[in-house]
């Protein structure tokens, strides 16, 4: 399956800058970027909330980069690195598209800012709403048969 912008030449740095400009034009206050080996993330303040998107990076050692698809032959390290970098560029272009589409949907009145940004809204705990929900789902999955969670789940306050 082909992915959006899978052949892009736009660097991650350019994509991040374009995202920053989109958000600034939409009225965001502040913009932060962090990158480590496994992921990168952006955060910003918009519509009275702090929003964070995390881009999980694939491992450069993943077989999709180190071996050919059909024959499974090992690729030269240079070629494997090129394919990995291409995957990173694609992820940033997809995030750019996602942010742009969210901003347009909000501006057009298709969705509210509250609902569109909710999963990515940062709570006082430092988690996003979606991270908190995933934690609750994990806790629920770990219950013993017949055991129940309390009827009232209290969300941490939003930042």
| H helices, E strands: number in the chain | 5, 3
Confidence check: pLDDT of 10 > 60: yes
Altogether, the residues listed in the chain come to a count of 159
Q: Where are the alpha helices (DSSP H) in 3-128?
A: 12-25, 63-66, 77-107, 113-117
pTM of the model: 0.85
SS3 123: strand
Q: Work out the average pLDDT over 24-29.
A: 95
For residue 106, the model assigns a pLDDT of 96
pLDDT tens digits, 122-148: 999 999 999 999 988 887 777 777 666
Q: What is the CA radius of gyration of the chain?
A: 19
């Amino acid at each position: 399956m082909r992915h959006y912008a899978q052949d892009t030449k736009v660097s991650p740095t350019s994509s991040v800058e374009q995202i920053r400009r989109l958000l600034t034009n939409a009225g965001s206050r502040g913009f932060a970027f962090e990158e480590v080996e496994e992921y990168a993330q952006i955060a910003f303040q918009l519509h009275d909330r702090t929003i964070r998107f995390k881009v999980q990076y694939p491992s450069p050692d993943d077989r999709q980069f180190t071996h050919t698809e059909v024959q499974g032959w090992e690729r030269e390290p240079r070629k494997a690195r090129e394919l990995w970098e291409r995957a990173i560029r694609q992820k940033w272009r997809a995030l750019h598209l996602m942010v742009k589409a969210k901003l347009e949907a909000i501006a057009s009145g298709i969705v509210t800012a509250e609902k569109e940004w909710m999963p990515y809204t940062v709570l006082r705990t430092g988690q996003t709403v979606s991270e908190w929900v995933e934690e609750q789902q994990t806790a629920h999955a770990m219950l013993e048969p017949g055991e129940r969670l309390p009827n009232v789940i209290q969300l941490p306050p939003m930042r």
